[in-house]
Chains A and B, each alone.
Chain A
């Protein structure tokens, strides 16, 4: 082997290993997509033929429909509350020197690294105690679920909005104020438009995190009130067939669309 050919051989091996890993990450999604179009119900390979009938089967499966609607409700509301709490906090954390600022920052990011199972059990007993203390039905309620999801949305908001604020040139704001704009006008006309990409990305990431959350939600859903990921999990514990694959594929497509939209505002490679 000549000296010139050597690096390119190494390069080839490196690219080959990278492709294998990427393929390994994507393989389960490819199988689910394939299964959703099978003609026969049993997932045996090779398929006997292809059909679209499972999508209407998934669309008339009540747990999937109810789960989808609940996940959508919880995701949208938790994202809006998370933005309302997280955006002002990020502004304050980046702009002002706050007592214990780094500690507050760490606390706000903590739910992201907290394992879902531990978070779920802890919130479960917390909601039981709240129920005992107030007499209100908290556990298994829509409000309880939304509050829990808000907790996992906030870290994404803080992370993405903080990132978009750090590159912001403060002299533009000073210029606006020199030209006679009050603090509120400056915020609405100057600050907000320039951090909008960060807020949009935060909203979409928060929504997607909430929509896909499984482990934590498992402890907090009530009877007859399950989210889509839990409905899919419960179906899979019973059997695997093209109906559940079709429901999964709808979820994959939805999330992929959300990601492509986000990417138009903020390059994913910069924020993840």
Chain B
């Protein structure tokens, strides 16, 4: 309140402002922080088969996760898939983001709409597209066989590669849009200055563009990493039942096993792993480029 002092009318206005902002704040606080607190409380409960959930205060759900190699492998696989997808998104996203950012034609808005559209269409629909392509008689195998490159269909549906391709396609728009907005804020002059001082395109990129775009690169990387860690529809539809990642694992514990305490614990491990890895990456990058 002390910061609101300077204006004479500040007191009355702050009262009004409070009335305007409070409903939304209460709604989000109760609807978001409340549920997370309850979920954490549930994860400390016991699950006794036949008796359902029993109130308790135990860390056995977390111990179960970290001592069972099956669950640990699911976590490691999820982290590996998320890292590969994030790197792929950065490499594939940068050229498109740069071209969009420096574009001045009237088609720019149309192209941005084409990047945004898939983002809003939803993951299930996009997975359907890849399912059409990846089947044994799908577009990919049909065209490869038509070209005479392979004799019999390659197995790609229900493999890790299918999931990787699916998640990269899902997350790429987020990376492109984040990078594009940051690159647009970098004046064209600094690039031209680098060129006129004798830098080649590679040196200009490494010494000028990359450091200046770093905040956007970091933001885009974090966003795509979080989304890849928490992917659900893509691994379920393109990876099949045997390819387990953390998202489908959480859903299975809630919907099929009815083991809410363990499901809650996995959900918390997923959230914590995402946050810890994100913060770690942030710190490493900051130290490296200070």
Tell me whether A110 and B32 are in contact in the complex, defined as CB-CB below 8 angstroms, given that A214-B123, A251-B122, A255-B121 are known contacts: yes
- B123–A89 contact, CB under 8 A? no
- B120–A212 contact, CB under 8 A? yes
Q: A32 an interface residue at 8 Å Cβ cutoff?
A: yes
Q: How many residues of A contact B (CB 8 A)?
A: 90
Task: Give chain A residues whose Cβ lies under 8 Å from the Cβ of B232.
Answer: 116-117, 214-215, 218
Tell me whether A236 and B31 are in contact in the complex, defined as CB-CB below 8 angstroms, given that A18-B98, A218-B251, A269-B112 are known contacts: no
Q: A272 an interface residue at 8 Å Cβ cutoff?
A: yes
Tell me whether A215 and B120 are in contact in the complex, defined as CB-CB below 8 angstroms, given that A115-B226, A240-B131 are known contacts: no
- A122–B267 contact, CB under 8 A? yes
Q: B13 an interface residue at 8 Å Cβ cutoff?
A: yes
- A45–B129 contact, CB under 8 A? no
| B:1-52 near A, CB below 8 Å | 1, 3-4, 10, 13-14, 16-18, 20-21, 23-25, 27-29, 31-32, 34-36, 38-39, 42
Q: B95 an interface residue at 8 Å Cβ cutoff?
A: yes
Q: A154 an interface residue at 8 Å Cβ cutoff?
A: yes
Across the interface, name the chain B residue whose C-beta is closest to A123: B35
Label chain B's interface by main secondary structure: helix
Interface stretch of the complex, out of B65-73, B135-143, B282-290: B135-143
Q: B116 an interface residue at 8 Å Cβ cutoff?
A: yes
Q: How many residues of B contact A (CB 8 A)?
A: 93
Q: Which of A30, A99, A116, A260 contacts B230 (CB 8 A)?
A: A116
Interface stretch of the complex, out of A9-17, A171-179, A190-198: A9-17
The minimal Cβ–Cβ distance linking A16 to chain B, given in whole angstroms, is 8
| B:60-115 near A, CB below 8 Å | 92-93, 95-96, 98-100, 108-109, 111-115
- B201–A229 contact, CB under 8 A? no
Across the interface, name the chain A residue whose C-beta is closest to B40: A122
- A18–B20 contact, CB under 8 A? no
A148 to B34, CA, bound (A): 13
- A45–B121 contact, CB under 8 A? no
A252 to B173, CA, bound (A): 16
A260 to B122, CA, bound (A): 18
- A121–B254 contact, CB under 8 A? yes
Across the interface, name the chain A residue whose C-beta is closest to B112: A269
Tell me whether A237 and B236 are in contact in the complex, defined as CB-CB below 8 angstroms, given that A31-B129, A92-B20, A126-B34 are known contacts: yes
- Bitwise, A1-38 to B at CB < 8 A (1) or not (0) is 00000010010001101101110111111111011000
Q: B217 an interface residue at 8 Å Cβ cutoff?
A: no
Task: Give chain A residues whose Cβ lies under 8 Å from the Cβ of B163.
Answer: none
Across the interface, name the chain B residue whose C-beta is closest to A86: B24
- A237–B38 contact, CB under 8 A? no
Q: A232 an interface residue at 8 Å Cβ cutoff?
A: yes
Q: B133 an interface residue at 8 Å Cβ cutoff?
A: yes
A141 to B239, CA, bound (A): 31
| A:211-244 near B, CB below 8 Å | 212-215, 218-219, 229, 232-233, 236-237, 240, 244
Tell me whether A268 and B109 are in contact in the complex, defined as CB-CB below 8 angstroms, given that A27-B133, A115-B230 are known contacts: yes
Q: Which of B34, B99, B176 has most chain A Cβ within 10 Å?
A: B99
Q: Which of B10, B28, B112 contacts A110 (CB 8 A)?
A: B28
Tell me whether A125 and B32 are in contact in the complex, defined as CB-CB below 8 angstroms, given that A89-B25, A252-B117 are known contacts: no
- Bitwise, A250-266 to B at CB < 8 A (1) or not (0) is 01100110011001000
The minimal Cβ–Cβ distance linking A177 to chain B, given in whole angstroms, is 13
- B271–A115 contact, CB under 8 A? yes
Give me 10 other A-B pairs in contact (C-beta within 8 A), A24-B168, A259-B116, A269-B108 excluded.
A14-B99, A32-B132, A89-B20, A126-B39, A150-B31, A154-B24, A154-B27, A215-B247, A255-B120, A269-B109
Q: Which 10 A-B pairs have the closest CB atoms?
A: A28-B129, A96-B17, A115-B230, A126-B35, A122-B35, A44-B137, A45-B142, A17-B95, A92-B20, A89-B24
Residues of B within 8 A of A (CB): 1, 3-4, 10, 13-14, 16-18, 20-21, 23-25, 27-29, 31-32, 34-36, 38-39, 42, 92-93, 95-96, 98-100, 108-109, 111-118, 120-133, 135, 137-139, 141-143, 168-169, 172-173, 176-177, 181, 201, 223, 226-227, 229-230, 232-233, 236-237, 246-247, 250-251, 254-255, 260, 263-264, 267, 270-271, 274
Residues of A within 8 A of B (CB): 7, 10, 14-15, 17-18, 20-22, 24-32, 34-35, 42-46, 85-86, 88-89, 91-93, 95-99, 104, 107-108, 110-111, 113-119, 121-126, 129, 147-148, 150-151, 154, 158, 208-209, 212-215, 218-219, 229, 232-233, 236-237, 240, 244-245, 248, 251-252, 255-256, 259-260, 263, 267-269, 272
21 CB contacts below 8 A, A to B, read A14-B95, A22-B114, A27-B129, A34-B132, A45-B142, A96-B13, A113-B226, A117-B251, A117-B267, A118-B39, A118-B271, A121-B267, A126-B34, A126-B39, A214-B123, A214-B232, A229-B124, A236-B131, A245-B132, A263-B113, A268-B112
